Structure 1
């Protein structure tokens, strides 16, 4: 148990740990902001300008512009999640493994 505490202390004191935490926090906050901003922009349009979303894509069609916009927000959220997972499994995991190797030397 004492050895684990020593390893954790070494990791926390390593400047690379602060860099990893900063990069991960910045990246996740950026993606969160993009998703929330797009979602709330749609919600504000629904609340204050619903006529904008009721317009058909092409005159004579029943499909309105709101449907593909909503679908794009959902698909965009999936894609951004995939982007985060890809970066987390690549760059962030490599930095994490490097920290553990350095701490257990």
Structure 2
């Protein structure tokens, strides 16, 4: 693999050193970790309830045949899609605009 031209390396170094870019990376990582923590807590709780309180999770909902576990599982899947949508919404609304500002300044 060939090395990028010198001007590209300089541009990358200027971007990496830009305080706005550093703040952007920090904010994006923090937000990603928060969403990851939410996901891990929800999934771990679901598995823990199944492992340690089977009678609760096996109870039918509203006298029907669908158990609490099935409803909770579907809710988790919907929640996972929602978390992904929240990240994409924030990335498109905030992160992309902030990165575009940094790149515009570096190009000029």
The two structures share one fold, judged by TM-score above 0.5:
yes
> Which residue of structure 1 aligns with residue 107 of structure 2?
104
CA RMSD of aligned residues (A): 0.9
What do residues 3-34 of structure 1 show as CA deviations (whole Å, max 9, x unaligned)?
11111111111100110001100111111111
Alpha-carbon separation, structure 1, partners of 2:98 and 2:76: 31
Equivalences, count = 104
Report the TM-score, using the length of structure 1 for normalisation: 0.94
Structure 1 moving runs of 4+ over 6 Å: none
* Unmatched segments (≥5 aa) in structure 2: none
Alpha-carbon separation, structure 1, partners of 2:7 and 2:61: 64
Cα drift, residue 62 of structure 1: 1.2
The one of 72, 89, 92 aligned to 1:89: 92
* Unmatched segments (≥5 aa) in structure 1: none
Report the TM-score, using the length of structure 2 for normalisation: 0.92
